Amino acid sequence: MDNNKLRNSGYQISDRVQFGGVFEPEKCKQIAKQVMDLYDSNKDGFIEQNEIAMMLSDAYRAMNKGFNPTSQDVSNCQSILDRKSTGRVHSEDIEQLVQKYFSGQPPAQPVKRVPEKLSRIAQERLEVARRIFKFVDKDGSGFLTEEEVPELLKETYKHMGMNDYQPTKEDVVIWIQMTDSDGDGKVTLEDYEQLVLDSLRKQGISLE
């Protein structure tokens, strides 16, 4: 049965998964492959934005809800799934998502380290980020929780001259999902530093 027939029949990957169940890593890989086979329509090994939109619509349909995702919805979803900040969703990203929610242990994330030698602009951005993080982390725990992130976002936007920015709860949740490398719901300084560096890379700014 090809992908179009699967969609037309109303079949969903979620029909075969008991949400909240725990699968072995190998089973999670199989589920991730099914997701890729279903939504990677041009078989290039990536899920593009139009395919993400279809995936979101199908996910809501599986919950008996109609949903027509906006371009912002698709962009937010892509940012969450694209853990390596490559601009595209790879099969490994889907596998990590499945492992996170359906396996007893999420896959280990590679440790990213700040390069020893940085360009002047990268170093300046990191210094600002570290000052903001330290200011918000008032209890000195070394990480930020969902309750502390809104202040960090407001301070960050204030530094960019946007003093009136008020993050919504959705903004906070999406930001944590993009930044939290190990999925424990907490954002460390290292997570925040990597977000800053990834942002510079996406802007085409050299880090070294």
Q: Give the C-alpha separation, 37 to 91, whole Å.
A: 10
91 sits in which H/E element: helix 91-102
**pLDDT (mean) for 90-99:** 79
pLDDT at 168 over 70: yes
Q: Look up the CATH number of the domain holding residue 177.
A: 1.10.238.10
Q: Give the C-alpha separation, 151 to 11, whole Å.
A: 43
Q: Are residues 189 and 138 both part of a single domain?
A: yes
- Domain-located, residue 110: no
Range name among 142-146, 177-181, 192-196 with the lowest pLDDT average: 177-181
Q: Give the C-alpha separation, 158 to 144, whole Å.
A: 18
Domain tally, the chain: 2
Domain end call among 46, 71, 102: 102
Q: Give the C-alpha separation, 49 to 75, whole Å.
A: 8
Taking the whole predicted model, whether its pTM rises above 0.75 is answered as no
What pLDDT is stored for residue 103 in this prediction? 67
**pLDDT (mean) for 68-74:** 83
Secondary structure letter of residue 119 according to DSSP = -
Residue percentage of the chain with pLDDT more than 90: 14
46 sits in which H/E element: strand 46-47
